[in-house]
Amino acid sequence: MSGAEGLGASVARKEDRRFLLGRGRYTDDITLPGQTHAVFVRSPHAHATIRSIDASQALKAPGVLAVLTGADVAADDLGGIPCGWTITNKDGSKMVAPPHPALAQGKARHAGDPVAMVIAETRAQAKDAAQLVEVDYGPQPAVAHLNAAVADGAPQVWDEAPGNVCFDWHLGDAAATEAEFAKADRVVSLDLTNNRVAPNAIEPRAANGHFDDVDDRYTLYTTSQNPHLIRLLMGAFTLKVPEHKLRIVAPDVGGGFGSKIFHYAEELLVLWASRRVGRPVKWTSDRSEAFLSDAHGRDHVTHAELALTSDGKFRGLRVRTLANMGAYLSTFAPAIPTYLHATLLSGPYVIPAIYAEVKAIFTNTVLLDAVRGAGRPEATYLLERLVDKAARELGIDRVEIRRQNLIQPNQFPYQTPVALQYDIGDYPATLDMALQAIDYGKFGERKAESAKHGKLRGFGISTYIEACGIAPSALVGALGAGAGLYEAATVRVHPTGSVSVFTGTHSHGQGHETTFAQLVNERLGIPIENIEVVHGDTDRIPFGMGTYGSRSAAVGGSAIYKAIDKIVEKSKKIAAHLLEASVADIEFEDGKFRVAGTDREKTFGEIAFTAYVPHNYPIETTEPGLEDSAFYDPKNFTFPGGCHLVEVEVDPETGVVEVVDVAIADDVGVIINPMIVDGQAHGGLAHGIGQALLEECVYDDDGQLLSGSFMSYCMPRAADLPSFKVGNHVTACTHNPTGIKGVGEVGAIGVPPAVINAVIDALAPLGVTDISMPATPEKVWRAIQAAQGGAA
């Protein structure tokens, strides 16, 4: 159809009005009758035994209803927070998966580890009383950084994980890679750190739990990207309540970026506490508490080597990575540096042999897991930094070295040496599109102009690939996932022809209420104002896996398409009956069922009405009603890719880096709503530029988080960023019915190495060859001083 509201239409969003009027309904906005409030007492130590907890003074404080500790959690047999992915070590053994109690049992293992929970009539009273809980800690030696954690004699986070190793894993053909390196003309190597970042959705996490003893049912409002996953984990592992007694609602959610995927102790505890105190219990995180309790991202230390021929052809890649897990294993933590990182190391290039080794390490820090991009930014960063370094060392143009190694459009499907098979792409096209958008040919003129103002201008490039919609279920199961990765949809056509779509994905900014309605409009021709998209409530939607890894449109949208196929098929039977024709002769186009080659037709609305008022109806063969569901399990990942270009100006006097131009060309597959797709790219770019220049979770050697608030953790602001030039070149995904690939993470994946490559390019005339993320003014200034032989 592709009409005014179908595929390709930049329809303004249906969900905007409530947000613009201040009528969004976020978790903390919900206050239930009899509401009480919870505040957590958290360990100030990175590693400490808990000798005793004295709550007697807190219990006497005004308004206090209960103080709960690890002992109460154990007494009620609450399950530990499970890890949903098991990695198999090189030697065939399984990774170390230590227990993760909801409240610390005898030991705290990171600063911020919850130790006790205070419940009171008001939040202020709970906060006051939390100050009165006396915890007698026995501080232990702690370790926060990867290299320190693997050093001889390092403090041990877990007795069962000697050397702090969670797993020691590898991927690829070591011998074949060794052989390529042995015969290579050149080997280029690089040591890199991928900086630790905090997700920082602007809405802090919150949870409001209510146990209703009349119908023996639990309701949890929580800031989640995947309410059914939370229900599954609570039902099977933590709260241990049958799922039909659990309702999980993720209402309006103020951004996720990965951090709201995981099952967190606090959401379990408010629901459990509600049963204990007999009233609803609400917890809302402070921002400083979020820094100590939301899963962080990245935190890799990597040694990477690229083997090349003398004319710049890639022959082999060897990567050794240490990945920080934090003190416990978050829900999907082990999958991030393995199956979402090492599998991406071929990038968009032909590299005949690749071998990657990943050691996951426990430290006394906050847990780490997926943050926008999740593993793929780390892979892209190391590869694109390495390719740039190779170009410089071999004296080859940075654009040309990429161009000559790109997988060509006629090479698809392309099997990489690291497990993935890319279905389709056109990497030369996105490269050229981006170069044109930034007017690469005139970079020299711009550089000269910048120089007149005392600024060093640099050009940075990154050609990247990512993998979205992780699947199929059978494959991820074989790789260690504890869940399936399909998606579900129910399409309910109402008697008057309006439609409700129930999706298992979740929208927390992505705009599904609009884009999924556009999918229905595309197929059924119904105006989007007559289409409702429902998500986020396990009592209303089918069992689905939620939203992460840029999967919603590609996987969730495909489930909607499958459900619509069933609706159309049934509608044709009804139409055939009404039109007294055979089903095979019925065509469906522009919202009308027509007998092929005639003008005899019925509208979709007439069919819907007939389905629910089946007076004249093929009742012998067809049931009344018009509603169907589908579960879609993808055949493969989708593979968006493209080219990100950045120009920076560096002030050599101050080290300040200004991003002056960003031009990107992505291939995210078929586009539903170009305006929303561009918006997703913009957000990802800001996130990626933030990681490259501003953001870092800094721990001291004792495991104290030094950048634990917005005072010290530098978030990207409007004035830190330019406007972005965003282009798209579409090749449709070949293995799903929508052709969609996914767009939520491309910016965060592609742009960080382009920024750093631009900074290094700007500083290259001064002799600087390396700079790490975030490239803060201090770091840049010191690098300049060191390269110039000054005191840095």
Interaction between residue 529 and other proteins (CB under 8 A): no
Convert residues 138-157 into a mask of x (bound to other proteins by CB under 8 A) and - (unbound). Answer: --------------------
Binding region for other proteins (CB under 8 A) out of 20-28, 108-116, 275-283, 629-637: 20-28
Instruction: Identify the residue among 170, 186, 217, 287 touching other proteins (CB under 8 A).
Output: 287
The answer to whether 326 and 366 are in contact (CB under 8 A) is: yes
Amino acid at 562: K
Question: In angstroms, how far is the first alpha carbon of the chain from the final one?
Answer: 63
Residue 568, helix vs strand vs coil: helix
- Least gap, CB of 292 to other proteins (angstroms): 12
**Residue in 258, 375, 425, 511 binding other proteins, rule: CB under 8 A:** 511
Q: How far apart are CA 741 and CA 468, in angstroms?
A: 7
List of residues 6+ apart from 768 with CB closer than 8 A = 760, 783, 784, 786, 787
Q: Looking only at residues 88 through 107 of this chain, which bind other proteins when binding is defined by CB under 8 A?
A: none
CB of 716: closest distance to other proteins in angstroms? 8
Q: Using the rule CB under 8 A, is 13 a contact of other proteins?
A: yes
Check residue 166 for interaction with other proteins (CB under 8 A).
Answer: no
Q: Which stretch binds other proteins (CB under 8 A): 21-29, 422-430, 444-452, 465-473?
A: 21-29
Segment interacting with other proteins (CB under 8 A) among 24-32, 60-68, 439-447, 486-494: 24-32
Q: Is 710 in the site for other proteins (CB under 8 A)?
A: yes
Cβ atoms of 488 and 544 within 8 Å: the answer is yes
Identity of the residue, 288 or 785, whose beta carbon is nearer to other proteins in the bound complex = 288
Sequence-ordered list of residues with C-beta below 8 angstroms from that of 361, at least 6 positions apart, any chain: 146, 149, 150, 164, 165, 166, 322, 323, 324, 325
Q: Which residues ranging from 740 to 769 are in contact with other proteins (CB under 8 A)?
A: 747
Q: How far is the CB of 714 from other proteins (least distance, A)?
A: 10
User: DSSP character for 420?
Assistant: -
Q: Applying CB under 8 A, does 28 fall inside the site for other proteins?
A: yes
Does the CA dihedral 558-560-564-567 come out positive or negative? positive
- Indicate the residue among 254 and 334 with the shorter CB distance to other proteins: 254
Residue with tokens 């459990």: 272
Give the gyration radius of the chain's Cα atoms: 27
- CB of 360: closest distance to other proteins in angstroms? 27
Q: Which amino acid is at 593?
A: F
Q: Which stretch binds other proteins (CB under 8 A): 8-16, 338-346, 489-497, 727-735?
A: 8-16
Q: What six digits make up the tokens of 566?
A: 């069933």
DSSP string, 605-642: HHHHHHHHS-SSS-TTT--S--EEEEEE--SS-B--EE
The stretches of 398-500 forming alpha helices (DSSP H) are: 398-405, 427-438, 443-452, 473-478
Question: In this chain, which stretch among 19-27, 350-358, 441-449, 561-569 interacts with other proteins, using CB under 8 A?
Answer: 19-27
Beta bridge partners of 649: 457, 658
How far is it, in rounded angstroms, from Cα 84 to Cα 332? 6
Q: Least distance to other proteins from the beta carbon of 730, Å? A: 20
- In 34-185, DSSP assigns E strands to 36-42, 48-54, 64-69, 107-108, 114-120, 134-139, 165-172
Based on CB atoms, which residue is closest to other proteins, 31 or 496? 31
Alpha helices in 131-173 (DSSP H): 146-149
Provide, rounded to whole angstroms, the least separation between the CB of residue 157 and other proteins. Answer: 29
Q: Using alpha carbons, select from 679, 649, 676, 652 the residue that is nearest to residue 661.
A: 649
C-beta closer to other proteins: residue 19 or 412: 19
- The answer to whether 199 touches 297, Cβ cutoff 8 Å, is yes
Q: Which residue in 1, 19, 600, 735 binds other proteins (CB under 8 A)?
A: 19
Q: Does residue 578 contact residue 626 with C-beta atoms inside 8 Å?
A: no
CB 537 within 8 A of CB 227: yes
Using rule CB under 8 A, residue 715 touches other proteins: yes
Q: Which of residues 672-691 bind other proteins (CB under 8 A)?
A: 675-676, 678-679, 682-687
CB atoms within 10 A of CB 408: 12
Binding mask 618-657 for other proteins (x = CB under 8 A): ----------------------------------------
* Closer to other proteins by Cβ: residue 6 or 251: 251
Total of residues contacting other proteins (CB under 8 A): 58
Stretch that binds other proteins, among 202-210, 265-273, 461-469, 620-628 (CB under 8 A): 202-210
Of residues 119 through 138, those in contact with other proteins by CB under 8 A are 124
Counting contacts by CB under 8 A, is residue 508 touching other proteins?
Answer: yes
Enumerate binding residues for other proteins (CB under 8 A): 12-13, 15-26, 28-29, 31, 124, 200-204, 252-255, 257, 284, 286-288, 508-511, 675-676, 678-679, 682-687, 709-711, 715-719, 721, 723-724, 747
